[in-house]
Structure 1
């Protein structure tokens, strides 16, 4: 069976989110083709890669490339190009957009596959008919922002998709609920496959010990949806209470300047360190030297970093955002706090700091065992093999 996966860019070697899935499919005899808008890194043999033509930049060059791709599509992939044009026409897509769809999907129209799987919901917009045009079944994954935030800005953006998709992949039950909230009427099967981690790498044989240094850590893209300002506000409460701590944030993003200013306003610059993006080996080292992992997101599909922290035995406090309450079993493997409430978060952090050592040890042990039992890469790979079966 041949699977086509549509992504914004070719995943780099360190981006295990998709590469582990692709590796597992190949090991089970599937052929995998990646259709990407760009290819910044391709230093390893992941699978066959087809990159879309660049249609931005110099206007004259874009026109030439567009004409060439349009002629190429109708000369060498006439049937698929005609199918896409006809299907879009039936849907009432305007003529300029129909032509644009053929040009921008030239790399997909030229490759026969059994399944065309869009890695994010937003990747399918204006491509709802591409799978049928090439005679493939269509799957789409929803992971967080694409169903939790994007449809709020663009209401009913997926209505056309709901009529045409064959299977939907979600990473949590809350994401599944959001699919229904945004107009899904139940024609396609929705299958939950949670994220997974390398439990052989993120593993600690050592018994958890809270150092009492109150080293807190978060791994996150510096984006508003990660709730880092709320986290700062909670930590400011701890500082006023005279509780010493240090907070490390691993990750980069567009909000760095804003977050540094927020830390300054809350008088936390001495207590907060921004490391930028780090490699997995360094991330593991930072996690192992920490006491408490915080993921107080406003919106969060699931969060692999919370799984990694639990696997290493850290105590974890998360918000109620989407998949986080499935990632953590409240009061058993960590703690779940209502989102957007800095005071509640501060109270929970103080409560956890003051827990008896045996209670902390039990929570850490429960977390390690649950992650190693339910969130392994091998389990996830097998679930995706089953996903594509008839």
Structure 2
């Protein structure tokens, strides 16, 4: 019988909408239910940090901006103190800065450190990759969210594949079985039953590729099909230029009656909103493993997604939706058109999507596989 573990998660930011943050939250709750003691530390708190405190988790906000600073050194020793006084068995790190600290902590304390890789490294500079090539040898193990992420890490960071385990994201089915509208009209816009309802669940920023979907709408409108596109997400582009570019394109091409930006919808209401949709489109330029794809499939939506990162590992082309090339508005429009025009196929894709999530991307499977990696590395350390 395995013992109860003391696990410390370290992440840069604990906001509510990020995929990594949602993964950490799901793991924390699931591991605690299985009897483990879970502690959290972040470099900057947010809405999710408050929520986790209210859920009874120990949470240390380091209020750290730069790790190569006096505060960075102070935070390092704070974490070392937590690990020693709380007798932590495993430290799990998310993202670049947390990985840097985790490698140093492993060197100083000998604690098991698991690095969680969440994306394809699209924002890593050459100096970051060079640093990873050094510190990867310090980590006890690495978890990749998809085979695509694993292959990218192996290729660019020159690491042996056998120290990386692929553990996909999971979905909590209960959220979709019990989701109900609360507090009035949280969607804040009319949803006509006469139109095919298309959604794009992603924050508005260049890497998510929304502009190509807007261009696809401009193509589809010429076919005289009744449809409407809903963008569900907040504007993540701080300067607002990308969002403004999209708005200008909509205005120039008279697409105002075809597109609605819903903006701020709390994550707890996402299942309710998705259940009102007919098709989900994820036009990203890069993904590790998209929670939006998984959540859309759980809601029974056919998904049109770009063939980047882990998307093809989720969406089975022609069975649960379509995989199209990135930055290809014509391909997006064509795939959406096929689903709109074939109601029988749409219903079949809906059933297949739900079944695929149930068999391969459940929360239960995520917790089980993650726990297995933790125990394997604890045992390896004691040998």
TM range, normalised to the smaller chain? 0.7 to 0.9
Kindly tell me: are residues 122 and 52 of structure 1, through their superposed partners in 2, closer, same or farther at Cα, counting changes over 3 Å? closer
Which residue of the other structure, out of 83, 105, 112, is the alignment partner of 1:130? 105
Partner residue, 2:309: 322
Kindly tell me: are residues 149 and 97 of structure 1, through their superposed partners in 2, closer, same or farther at Cα, counting changes over 3 Å? closer
Q: Residues 83-138 of structure 1: CA distance to partner in whole angstroms, max 9, x if unpaired?
A: xxxxxxxxxxxxx9596653231320211222221122442236522222122121
Provide the secondary structure at the position in 1 that maps to 2:249: helix
Partner residue, 1:186: 160
Bigger CA drift: 173-182 or 374-383?
374-383
C-alpha distance in structure 1 between counterparts of 2:268 and 2:44, whole Å: 27
Q: Residues 194-218 of structure 1: CA distance to partner in whole angstroms, max 9, x if unpaired?
A: 111111222499xxxxx66221101
Kindly tell me: are residues 335 and 97 of structure 1, through their superposed partners in 2, closer, same or farther at Cα, counting changes over 3 Å? closer
Which residue of the other structure, out of 364, 369, 377, is the alignment partner of 1:378? 364
Q: If the length of structure 2 is used for normalisation, what is the TM-score?
A: 0.82
Kindly tell me: are residues 337 and 267 of structure 1, through their superposed partners in 2, closer, same or farther at Cα, counting changes over 3 Å? same
Determine which structure has more spread, i.e. the larger CA radius of gyration: 1
1:42 aligns with 2:42: no
C-alpha distance in structure 2 between counterparts of 1:16 and 1:360, whole Å: 29
Kindly tell me: are residues 142 and 122 of structure 1, through their superposed partners in 2, closer, same or farther at Cα, counting changes over 3 Å? farther
Count of aligned residue pairs for this structure pair? 345
Bigger CA drift: 270-279 or 321-330?
270-279
Provide the secondary structure at the position in 2 that maps to 1:330: coil
Kindly tell me: are residues 360 and 153 of structure 1, through their superposed partners in 2, closer, same or farther at Cα, counting changes over 3 Å? farther
Shift, 1:341, TM fit: 1.0
RMSD: 2.8
Shift, 1:173, TM fit: 0.6
1:266-285 paired onto structure 2 within 5 Å: 266-280=253-267, 282-285=269-272
CA contact (8 A) 2:93 2:114 kept: yes
CA contact (8 A) 1:128 1:160 kept: no
Kindly tell me: are residues 285 and 115 of structure 1, through their superposed partners in 2, closer, same or farther at Cα, counting changes over 3 Å? closer
1:198-277 paired onto structure 2 within 5 Å: 198-203=172-177, 213-252=195-234, 253-254=236-237, 255-277=242-264
Q: If the length of structure 1 is used for normalisation, what is the TM-score?
A: 0.80
Q: Residues 327-357 of structure 1: CA distance to partner in whole angstroms, max 9, x if unpaired?
A: 11111111111111111111111122222x3
CA contact (8 A) 1:35 1:107 kept: no
C-alpha distance in structure 2 between counterparts of 1:152 and 1:317, whole Å: 32
1:116 aligns with 2:91: yes
CA contact (8 A) 2:339 2:345 kept: no
1:276-315 paired onto structure 2 within 5 Å: 276-280=263-267, 282-315=269-302
**Structure 1 unpaired stretches of 5+:** 57-95, 206-210
1:107 aligns with 2:81: no
Bigger CA drift: 6-15 or 265-274?
6-15
Provide the secondary structure at the position in 1 that maps to 2:224: coil
**Structure 2 unpaired stretches of 5+:** 180-192, 377-383
C-alpha distance in structure 1 between counterparts of 2:7 and 2:209, whole Å: 36
Provide the secondary structure at the position in 2 that maps to 1:367: helix
Kindly tell me: are residues 100 and 361 of structure 1, through their superposed partners in 2, closer, same or farther at Cα, counting changes over 3 Å? closer
Kindly tell me: are residues 126 and 291 of structure 1, through their superposed partners in 2, closer, same or farther at Cα, counting changes over 3 Å? same
